[in-house]
């Protein structure tokens, strides 16, 4: 069996928006007198906006400080700060190795999708000039259960009409790796801090990605000749 689709996480795989998320959360945290640093920001990779604010409150021992509506307002305020920063992204912000991989995959008839829980995915893809490169961009608003649940990767595969076993998923967060594995797909981790199930293949950076590396490792696992 050979892979028929590659499904990409966005933040940390196609472009490095973690720093922008950090700056936006930091601005909000400072306004609210909450402590927040880059180490805490690592915990927020791959998890939703509302869940992220819960984590920040929990880390500050202030779980009960706000009601549901207030928490939503705060998360929206952070999103406004983040959207301002997204407008500074350009094509130069595509991570190394990504454009050649997208080109090689396209030339080899492999379908491609984006499986990100970010509601800003479309705008980010427009800013970095990759919006037209994918056959499908999953809409997190239509997904009931976010990562580590497999739903978002499964939705992407379903929209492409390709079985999960023929898909490779690439993510930089533990929640994403678990989502890919639970979907029954081949999981590639990019510099993941592993705290649970390990990906099938771990790479130090997106610069190490290439179609031949993905094909070779996928086929080895499925015991198929490349
Ligand atoms: C993920 C990021 O891709 O998207 C998380 O890793 C972020 O840090 C999540 O919280 C949701 O993003 P957004 O853009 O909808 O706030």
- Interval between CA 49 and ligand 1 midpoint (Å): 6
What pLDDT was estimated at residue 72?
96
In the chain, which ranges are E strands? 5-8, 111-114, 136-137, 167-171, 186-190, 201-203
Residue 1's pLDDT is: 81
Q: Is 149 a catalytic residue?
A: no
Report residue 162's pLDDT band, with 50, 70 and 90 as the boundaries.
very high
* pLDDT of 224 strictly over 70: no
Query: What would the mean pLDDT of 13-26 be, rounded to a whole number?
Result: 96
- How much is the pTM? 0.94
Asked if the model's pLDDT at residue 225 lies above 80, the reply is: no
21 Cα nearest atom in ligand 1: 8
Concerning whether 11 is annotated as a catalytic residue, the answer is: yes
For residues 150 and 80, the answer to whether their CB atoms sit within 8 Å is no
Q: Which of 9, 171, 172, 200 is catalytic?
A: 9
Q: Write the DSSP string, 102-160.
A: HHHHHHTT-EEEE----TTHHHHHHHTT-GGG-SEE--GGG-SS-TTSTHHHHHHHHHH
Per-chain mean pLDDT for the chain: 96
């Amino acid at each position: 069996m050979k892979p028929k689709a590659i499904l990409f996480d966005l933040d940390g795989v196609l472009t490095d928006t973690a720093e922008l998320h950090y700056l936006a959360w930091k601005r909000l945290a400072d306004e609210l007198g909450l402590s927040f640093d880059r180490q805490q920001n690592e915990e927020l990779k791959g998890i939703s906006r509302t869940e992220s604010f819960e984590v920040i409150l929990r880390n500050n021992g202030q779980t009960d400080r706000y009601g549901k509506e207030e928490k939503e307002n705060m998360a929206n305020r952070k999103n406004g700060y983040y959207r301002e920063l997204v407008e500074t992204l350009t094509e130069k912000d595509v991570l190394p190795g990504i454009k050649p991989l997208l080109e090689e995959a396209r030339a080899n008839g492999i379908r491609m999708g984006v499986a990100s829980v970010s509601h800003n995915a479309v705008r980010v893809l427009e800013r970095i000039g990759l919006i037209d490169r994918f056959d499908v961009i999953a809409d997190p608003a239509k997904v009931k259960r976010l990562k580590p649940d497999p739903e978002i990767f499964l939705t992407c595969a379903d929209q492409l009409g390709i079985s999960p076993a023929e898909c490779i998923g690439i993510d930089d967060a533990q929640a994403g790796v678990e989502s890919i594995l639970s979907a029954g797909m081949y999981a590639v981790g990019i510099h993941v801090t592993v705290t649970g199930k390990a990906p099938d293949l771990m790479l130090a950076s997106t610069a190490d990605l290439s179609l031949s590396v993905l094909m070779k490792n996928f086929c080895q696992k499925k015991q198929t000749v490349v």
